[in-house]
Amino acid sequence: MPASLVRESEVDVLVIGAGPAGLMCANGLAKAGVNVRIIDQRPSKVAAGQADGIQPRTIEVLQSYGLAERLLREGNQMHMAAFYNPSPKGGIMRTGRAPDITAPTARYPFEVTLHQGAIEAIFLDSLSSMGVSVERPIIPTAVELDQNPIVLKDPQSHPIKIVLQHLDASEGQSETEIVYAKYLVGADGAHSWVRKSFGISMDGEQTDYIWGVVDMVPSTDMPDIRNKCAIHSDNGSCMVIPREGDKIRLYIQLTDADVLDPHTRRVDKARVTPQRLLDVAKKSFRPFRIETDGEIDWWTLYIIGQRVASKFSVHERVFIAGDACHTHSPKAGQGMNASMNDAHNLIWKLTHVLRGWADMSLLKTYEFERRKYAQDLIAFDKSFSALFSGKPRTDDNQEGVSHEEFVEAFQTFGAFTSGIGIHYAPSLVVNTTHQSAARNLVIGQRMLPHVFVRAADARPVELHDLLPADARFKLLVFTGAPSAAQLARVHSLAEDMARPEGALRVHAHAMDVLAISAGTKDDVDYTDIPEVFRSHWSKVLVDDSDMFGRTGGGGYEAYGIDARGALVVVRPDGYVAMVAPFEHHRDIDRYFESFMRAL
């Protein structure tokens, strides 16, 4: 083997790991023009299986990056859930159907299932269109963080030194590279090398529940095979997740006898075959038939464990995201979603700091917001897993889980399983002072989607489409009723907000402005709105339906805003940052002053 060559380089952000968290992160940063590299130790991308459901909120997030269209085209949609329980006649029977998700405000009121390889391909193609590709196979071998406070305080310094080995499997050679990075993101999975390198512990423990997973095209007479099915039988529990094409995924509850080595009491994958997993499923499906005409595409075993990293960041220079900082049960479909949303939370914050728009203090809110979320998620997952893995209630087992109990839990946890319920607590970037000015826009939750109509051309638009993840804050000026008196208030507001020292001017580069009138498309002209609130004719909306009353209208009511209007600040990641009545608009200046910098 020849002597290794040592190459040295600098980068603003190095992302380790090209799974959902890492790809999301690299894509978002690249889209924002950040100098980013992403490496992975695997020589090629994942093909089948692995994580599945994309939650409604994650679809909204992907849409904000322009990536939802392809996901929706390629993926399967789960709209309905069906519940099966022991039948008095033996076997199982359907005890009910319900919406798969219970978050009525979801823009996309369903989950999408698509294999992880196809999801990753969406990111890889997007990255590639921006000239970024995943560098692989590369393994990191050493990392140091310069702890000098002066260095750490300079957002443009390169305090991270990381040694990479570029492998070339075909040649059996490797090349060493030393990278100096401003920021490092460890999205390197449950066994995260980054996490271990910085000695971050995982808190929590494994449960005793063991599940098998099988992907296949079924042959069956079970009428809910294209719905999410929660099957509780006297022969164990089972979950059906329909997937793209005619495929389904089965989650199958296993007993110790199915998988444990009787001597070591440890899981022994060699004891299990996909056919044996299917045999277990067949028993819980009775009296329905479940087989496959073809192959088992993919299979695995899971032991459920709920753990959260003790911290998500080291000096706001090294971050961990995705499975590197939380692991939980796959059935709740949380893994990939939580991972992508970690990255989504981090992207705009890193972008703002690197552009010099915000103080480094902004980066502290990543751990604050995402670790809290991970903890809530784990608590939910524990109770939900216990319910689902528990025995069903029958005449012989009055202690078991009843259908009603399970459905109630399913619906109570709806906000979690949809991802819509994510709620960030007050912080530098979440200011709840004037919540009453927009009663239903919960500050700290994602902005509610709604269809408005453009004043200039009566075209209906989903407000979310005007809130892209482009690293800019969005100032929504709800101008209120179209009366002369209110219009005078709007003009006087415009005048004051347009003063040179106001946030609208000082942070103009970091902010997009939209105006939304409570008037109708008939009585509002876009030219009625002060110019400072309309950068383009397409950015003036009215709260009205389209020409045929098919969509739109009722937005002020849905948002809890009255005829006197309100100001709403939406974060670059789509979460409501603050609201204010017109007369307190200067509080918005103070909000931005608290962490933004004048350029």
Contacting positions for its own copies (CB under 8 A):
76-80, 97, 99-100, 104, 109-110, 221, 223-227, 242, 246, 454, 456-460, 521-522, 525-528, 537, 546-548, 550
Residue in 458, 449, 17, 435 with CA at minimum distance from that of residue 195: 17
Work out how close the CB of 371 gets to its own copies at its nearest, in angstroms, rounded to a whole number: 32
Among 5, 13, 6, 4, smallest CA distance to 347 is for: 13
587 in catalytic set: no
Beta bridge partners of 54: 112
Catalytic residue at 265?
no
Write down the catalytic residue from 108, 183, 251, 591: 251
For this structure, is 52 an active site residue? yes
Pick the closer one to its own copies by CB: 81 or 162.
Answer: 81
Distance between CA atoms of 258 and 235, rounded to whole angstroms?
Answer: 13
Could you tell me the two tokens for 83? Answer: 């519940």
* Closest distance of CB 120 from its own copies, Å: 23
| Closest separation in Å from C-beta 590 to its own copies | 36
Task: Give 303 or 458: the residue with its C-beta nearer to its own copies.
Answer: 458
480: helix, strand or coil: strand
Q: Closest separation between CB of residue 457 and its own copies, Å?
A: 4
Nearest residue (CB) to its own copies, 1 versus 484: 484
Kindly list the distances between the CA atom of residue 326 and the CA atoms of 28, 61, 333, 381, 383, in Å, as whole numbers in the listed order. 21, 20, 13, 12, 16
CB of 542 to its own copies, least distance (A): 12
Report the side by side order of strands in the sheet with 202-220: 92-99, 80-86, 228-233, 236-242, 248-254, 202-220, 290-309, 326-327
Contact 296, 161 (CB under 8 A): no
Question: In 3-state terms, what secondary structure has residue 47?
Answer: coil
* Nearer Cβ to its own copies (136/286): 286
Cβ–Cβ contacts within 10 Å for residue 295, how many?
10
Nearest approach, Cβ of 220 to its own copies (angstroms)? 9
Per annotation, catalytic residue among 40, 52, 258, 323: 52
496 versus 537: smaller Cβ distance to its own copies:
537
What's the half-sphere exposure (Cβ side, CA atoms, 13 Å) at 502? 16
Catalytic residue selected from 86, 330, 460, 572: 330
Supply the minimum distance, in Å, between the C-beta of residue 243 and its own copies.
11
- Nearer of residues 377 and 540 to its own copies, judged by Cβ: 540
> Is there a catalytic annotation at residue 376?
no
CA proximity to 434, closest of 554, 558, 588: 588
Angle in degrees, 0-180, between the axes of helices 56-64 and 335-354, rounded to the nearest 10: 30
CB 548 within 8 A of CB 511: no
Choice between 7 and 536, CB closer to its own copies: 536
- Closest to its own copies by CB, 65 or 110: 110
Pairing of strands 451-454, 248-254: unpaired
The whole-angstrom distance between residue 259's C-alpha and the CA centroid of its chain comes to 33
Q: Which of 429, 302, 451 is nearest to 359 (CA)?
A: 429
We find the least distance from the C-beta atom of residue 228 to its own copies, in angstroms, to be 9
Q: Which residue lies nearer to its own copies by CB, 206 or 527?
A: 527
What element of type H or E holds 387?
Answer: helix 364-389
Angle between helices 20-31 and 116-129 (to 10 degrees): 20
> Smallest distance from the beta carbon of 535 to its own copies, in angstroms?
12
**CA neighbor of 576 nearest in space, from 447, 388, 484:** 447
Among candidate residues 57, 226, 243, 393, the one labeled active-site is 243
- DSSP summary character for residue 4: P
Q: Which residues are catalytic?
A: 52, 243, 251, 330
